[in-house]
């Protein structure tokens, strides 16, 4: 009995010592990771990865040419329309007519009028108390005015080099779905324009002639003749520089279209084989609508049966 009583006392003492040891240990601090996790959960939306996208991927000088839009399941031809006083324009479906408004210009259709407007941001400060969930994914979306039961007005901003723009969508409830889709396509077609008086067309190629061999000089001279003809809009001289009359007809847009060119730099002359070379040049062009493109052309020069170098393609 004494042995059993002694064993129980020893076990009890061991448990008491263990409990005392645990209670006297330093308290466990919240981990830094857990603390940061709590802070992150309370943080503003700016701390979270943005899921917004920009509508203005091609606004700055350049951008592709828009030939048509899909509206009401049909292709509608588009034409470039310039703002009357601001250095901007937009590709507009042909069925939309233009009207001047107090703070800018709008293009629209239908009754009640569904319209797309470009306004001077320094003159117009819209009131947009509401937010449309379908549009909040766009960086430039400012808000909407839903105070009119029959019409909705959505506002977007664009900060240009010299001018801040406000773009306004206006549409009736019946037309909203189709018009909004069209106007979102249109807003991406806004182009910054430049005055043609600031653009000087011509051939201004920079290169080191001492690095060219005799063949490369001949090939370059042939390409230069084509460039000179393009600048002068001289159809006869252009045809003379090309490999065939059929090619001249295929490339006649270089002469006929209203685009101006400034050939600025010789990038390289590359031998494709003994009778074919590519003359690669960098250029800036001014479209007839008034906006600039920066790109390059390869003048493919080929020796014909008479042993003359002629331009066989421009791409």
- Of the ranges 35-44, 139-148, 239-248, which one carries the lowest mean pLDDT score? 35-44
CATH number for the domain whose boundaries are 68-193: 2.60.120
**Domain 197-314 listed as CATH 3.10.450.50:** yes
Residue 16's pLDDT band, with cuts at 50, 70 and 90, is: very low
For 276-280, which contacts have Cβ atoms below 8 Å and span 24 or more sequence positions? 276/300, 276/301, 276/302, 276/303, 276/312, 277/215, 277/216, 277/219, 277/301, 279/219, 279/220, 279/223
- Of the ranges 33-47, 143-157, 242-256, which one carries the lowest mean pLDDT score? 33-47
Inform me whether the pLDDT recorded for 168 exceeds 60. Answer: yes
Q: Residue 168: beta bridge partners?
A: 117, 155
Q: What is the largest CA-CA distance in the chain?
A: 128
How do residues 176-232 score in pLDDT, each as one tens digit? 999 999 999 999 888 877 655 578 899 999 888 899 999 999 999 999 999 999 999
Q: What is the pLDDT of residue 33?
A: 30
* Closest to 67 measured CA to CA, from 82, 77, 58: 77
Q: What is the pLDDT of residue 6?
A: 43
Residue 295's pLDDT band, with cuts at 50, 70 and 90, is: confident
Is pLDDT larger for residue 49 or for residue 158? 158
Inform me whether the pLDDT recorded for 46 exceeds 50. Answer: no
Q: What is the pLDDT of residue 161?
A: 67
Q: What is the pLDDT of residue 65?
A: 72
The average confidence (pLDDT) of the chain is: 81
Residue 21's pLDDT band, with cuts at 50, 70 and 90, is: very low
- Distance between CA atoms of residues 26 and 224, nearest Å: 85
Question: What spatial distance separates the first Cα and last Cα of the chain, rounded to whole Å?
Answer: 108
Range(s) of the chain covered by CATH 2.60.120 = 68-193
The CA-atom distances, in angstroms, between 185 and each of 46, 216, 227, 238 are 27, 46, 35, 38
Can you give the chain as a three-state secondary structure string? CHHHHHHHHHHHHHHHHHHHHHHCCCCCCCCHHHHHHHHHHHCCHHHCCCCCECCCCCCCCCCCCCCEEEECCEEEEEEEEECCCCCEEEEEECCCEEEEECCEEEEEECCCCEEEEEEECCCCCCCCCECCHHHCCECCEEEEECCCCCEEEEEEEEECCCCEEEEEEEEECCCHHHHHHHHHHHHCCCEECCCHHHCCCEEEEECCHHHCCHHHHHHHHHHHHHHHHHHHCCHHHHHHHECCHHHHHHCCHHHHCCCEEEEEEEEEEEEEECCEEEEEEEEEEECCCCCEEEEEEEEEEEECCCCCEEEEEEC
Inform me whether the pLDDT recorded for 36 exceeds 70. Answer: no
Inform me whether the pLDDT recorded for 268 exceeds 60. Answer: yes
Range(s) of the chain covered by CATH 3.10.450.50 = 197-314
User: In the chain, pLDDT over 70 holds for what percent of residues?
Assistant: 80
How do residues 77-99 score in pLDDT, each as one tens digit? 998 888 888 888 899 999 999 99
How do residues 231-263 score in pLDDT, each as one tens digit? 999 999 999 999 999 999 999 999 988 889 999
Inform me whether the pLDDT recorded for 289 exceeds 60. Answer: yes
């Amino acid at each position: 009995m004494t042995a059993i009583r002694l064993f129980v006392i020893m076990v009890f003492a061991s448990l008491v010592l263990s409990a005392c040891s645990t209670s006297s240990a330093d308290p466990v601090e919240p981990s830094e990771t857990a603390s940061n996790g709590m802070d992150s959960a309370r943080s503003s939306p700016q701390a979270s990865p943005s899921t917004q996208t920009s509508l203005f991927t091609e606004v700055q000088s350049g951008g592709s040419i828009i030939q048509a839009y899909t509206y009401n399941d049909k292709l509608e031809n588009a034409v470039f329309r310039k703002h009357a006083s601001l250095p901007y324009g937009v590709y507009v479906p042909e069925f939309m007519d233009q009207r001047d408004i107090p703070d800018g210009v709008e293009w629209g259709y239908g009754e009640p009028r569904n319209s797309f407007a470009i306004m001077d941001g320094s003159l117009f400060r819209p009131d947009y108390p509401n937010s449309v969930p379908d549009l909040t994914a766009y960086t430039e979306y400012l808000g909407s005015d839903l105070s009119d039961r029959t019409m909705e007005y959505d506002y977007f901003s664009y900060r240009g080099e010299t001018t801040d723009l406000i773009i306004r969508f206006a549409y009736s409830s019946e037309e909203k779905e189709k018009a909004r889709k069209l106007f979102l396509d249109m807003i991406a077609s806004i182009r910054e324009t430049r005055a043609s008086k600031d653009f000087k067309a011509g051939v201004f190629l920079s290169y080191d002639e001492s690095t060219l061999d005799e063949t490369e000089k001949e090939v370059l001279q042939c390409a230069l003749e084509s460039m000179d003809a393009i600048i002068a809009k001289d159809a006869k001289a252009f045809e003379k520089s090309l490999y065939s009359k059929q090619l001249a007809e295929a490339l006649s847009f270089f002469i006929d279209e209203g685009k101006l060119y400034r050939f600025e730099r010789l990038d390289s002359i590359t031998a494709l084989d003994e009778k074919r070379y590519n003359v690669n040049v960098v250029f800036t062009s001014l479209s007839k609508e008034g906006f600039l493109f920066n790109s390059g052309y390869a003048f493919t020069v080929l020796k014909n049966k008479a042993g003359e170098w002629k331009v066989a393609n421009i791409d």
